[in-house]
Amino acid sequence: MRILKILTITIICGVFFTFCKNKPVRYEVEATINNSVLDLSNSNLIQIPDLRHTKYEEVNLSKNRIDKLDFSKLPYTIKKLILSHNKLKGNISLRDKAYKLNFLDLSYNEINHFDSNYPLDTLKLNNNKLKGISCYVDNMKFLDISENRDLSNELDIPIDKIKYIKRDNIRNDLPLKFKLNEIFKNRHNN
């Protein structure tokens, strides 16, 4: 536990210097075999720290100022990633980068489109600015797309394969339906 406290202070200091000098800082993180969870929430981070050489299975980066999702900085062992309440914008694509990831929380950002071919169990995209979503859902147990007022009830995902979908306050209250687009047809017919 002592190492985790030192780690948090080091990263908070790094962010402080980044903010004062307006230059990016390379974060050096030491991991221990006993620690599988890293909580850097509310740390005023502007980027994902370099965690590639660690063995964390769960990383909480919520309530920061991160505006770019860079999976190359995350550990190969990561299973759960929380990036809620950040500054992520635009299109997010998860394509064969997050090796063991099964839980992804990107809620409370400004994401317009999410695209993934990765078999997530849980995906939280609520409270974004989603206009579209397309992803692999064969193993998905939970999908939260609520509070995305520009998102149509016609989605580019086979919704019947998802065990539970939370969808309050999307564009309309019509039942969700699967819109088979050309990309999906080509991807699954080959």
In terms of domains, do 2 and 73 share one? Answer: yes
What CA–CA distance (Å, rounded) separates 118 from 100? 9
What CA–CA distance (Å, rounded) separates 127 from 151? 11
In terms of domains, do 68 and 133 share one? Answer: no
Please indicate, yes or no, if residue 103 is contained in any of the structural domains.
no
pLDDT less than 70: residues of the chain: 1-34, 96-98, 179-190
Instruction: Provide the β-strand partners of residue 103.
Output: 80, 122
Q: What is the pLDDT of residue 113?
A: 95
Please indicate, yes or no, if residue 139 is contained in any of the structural domains.
yes
What CA–CA distance (Å, rounded) separates 45 from 90? 19
In terms of domains, do 138 and 183 share one? Answer: yes
First to last CA, the chain: 50
Q: In 3D, which of 43, 83, 39, 84 has the Cα closest to residue 57?
A: 39
Residue 57 DSSP SS3: coil
Please classify residue 158 by burial: count the beta carbons closer than 10 Å to its beta carbon, then call 0-12 exposed, 13-18 middle and 19+ buried: middle
To 5 degrees, how large is the angle CA 169–CA 182–CA 139? 60
In terms of domains, do 80 and 132 share one? Answer: no
In terms of domains, do 178 and 123 share one? Answer: yes
Q: What is the pLDDT of residue 180?
A: 59
Domain count, the chain: 2
Other CB atoms within a 10 A radius of the CB of residue 50 amount to: 16
Q: Which of 87, 109, 144 is the last residue of a domain?
A: 87
The structure's pTM equals 0.77
In terms of domains, do 81 and 129 share one? Answer: no
**Sheet containing 164-166: order of strands:** 37-39, 58-60, 80-82, 103-105, 122-124, 142-144, 164-166
Q: What is the pLDDT of residue 181?
A: 52
Q: What is the pLDDT of residue 97?
A: 64
**Domain of residue 165, residue span:** 117-190
Q: What is the pLDDT of residue 138?
A: 81
Please indicate, yes or no, if residue 7 is contained in any of the structural domains.
yes
